[in-house]
Amino acid sequence: MKVVTCIAPVNIAVIKYWGKSDEDLIIPINDSLSGTLSMDTMCAKTTIIASPELQENIFWLNGKEQSFDNKRLANCLQEVKQIADKSLPHLNWKLSIKSENNFPTAAGLASSAAGYACMVTALAKLYEIKGDVSYIARMGSGSACRSMYGGWVLWCKGSSSDGKDSIAKQIAPAAHWPEMRVIVLVVNDEKKKYSSTDAMKRSVQTSELLKHRANHVVPKMVKACIEAIKKKDFETFAEITMKESNSFHAICQDTYPPCVYLNDTSHTIIAAVHAYNEFKSANKVAYTFDAGPNAVLYLLESSVDEFISVINYVLPPMDNNGDYYKGLPVSPSQLS
């Protein structure tokens, strides 16, 4: 019997991936850029057991048995087995995969990114594969490829039709910008209204704006944001991050029928960030929203205490059935 356990953290995109050129292989229409949170924050944990005694493959997610008949899981497993050493005795043993997230799943908090990054890392370890396997994690959930590395990570869309060059690479380790913090404001931890897979497909089919974003807006933003990270220029980094989030949600609005992810609480947070930055006469906090109403704030350590008081004033922590910011996770995370 072989047992492998891995932990992988969530990554938060500052330049978002939205739209695929290949649905099966999950090849994106634009490059994307993110920060990976530290291991002690929002993480997925996966244990894989390979045993000759197992009669069939089993997969458990957050304590519930799932079907193993899942195309993305099958694609990852097939690819990992294809590059593994064929003489490994356990290559054909059945698997028991158990995965858990320590935060809400499928609520627009990048759970699938951490989940697939974790599972592919565990599979690679199980089958003794060395080298980059981010392109395999990508086949599980696109953004998962970025959680394969710590710090600041670029996912290059690549140009080959087999997706082998659609990979993630670290552009700077977390230690490069040790003052950087992330605050996640959980506005709603329920499952998101539309899966990102369905929504991005609809955007590709119906949004003219998306073509402009992918071809003209994102390439410039990626370049400028990498430069800002390298120079530790928070002012520019924050401006790009906020503009990019707004551009992404404009695409969601331009999708037909529209995908509305932000709610009133999200807009209150956006207004609070802009008011605070204006009061400070500089960008001290940046917001970004994925496919859900939950806000992720990037800010430097020196702004954390003050901005937490602002948020607690504007949106007093309360729990009224999930549609209000709950106040619980207001503790800053570091990048790993």
CB 72, CB 139: distance < 8 Å = yes
**Residues making up the chain, counted from first to last:** 336
Q: Per CB under 6 A, which region of 75-83, 110-118, 181-189, 325-333 contacts ligand PMV?
A: 110-118
Task: Compose the 203-242 pattern: x for residues touching ligand PMV by CB under 6 A, - for all others.
Answer: ----------------------------------------
Residue 19 per-residue DSSP state: -
Residue entry with tokens 């994102």: 218
Size of the site for ligand PMV (CB under 6 A): 14
For residue 9, what are its two tokens?
A: 């953290």
> Smallest gap, in angstroms, from Cβ of residue 259 to ligand PMV?
10
User: Sign (positive/negative) of CA torsion 252, 256, 258, 259?
Assistant: negative
* Beta strands across the sheet bearing 43-51: 2-9, 43-51, 94-101, 58-61, 64-66
Kindly tell me which of 114 and 124 has the beta carbon lying closer to ligand PMV: 114
Cβ-based nearer residue to ligand PMV, 14 or 80: 14
Q: Please, which residue, 16 or 157, has the CB nearer to ligand PMV? A: 16
Q: Which string of x and - marks every residue 250-289 that binds ligand PMV (by CB under 6 A)?
A: ----------------------------------------
Minimum separation from the CB atom of position 197 to ligand PMV (A): 6
Residue 236 · residue 278 · CB < 8 Å: no
Interaction between residue 291 and ligand PMV (CB under 6 A): yes
32 near ligand PMV (CB under 6 A): yes
117 binds ligand PMV (CB under 6 A): no
181 binds ligand PMV (CB under 6 A): no
Burial of 104 (0-12, 13-18, 19+ CB in 10 A): buried
Contact 42, 98 (CB under 8 A): no
Binding segment (CB under 6 A) for ligand PMV, from list 121-129, 136-144, 229-237, 323-331: 136-144
Q: Which of helix, strand or coil describes residue 295?
A: strand
142 binds ligand PMV (CB under 6 A): yes
Structure-token match 């995109």, residue found:
13
The one-character DSSP state at 158 is -
Interface residues with ligand PMV (CB under 6 A) are 13, 16-17, 32, 110, 112-113, 141-143, 196-197, 290-291
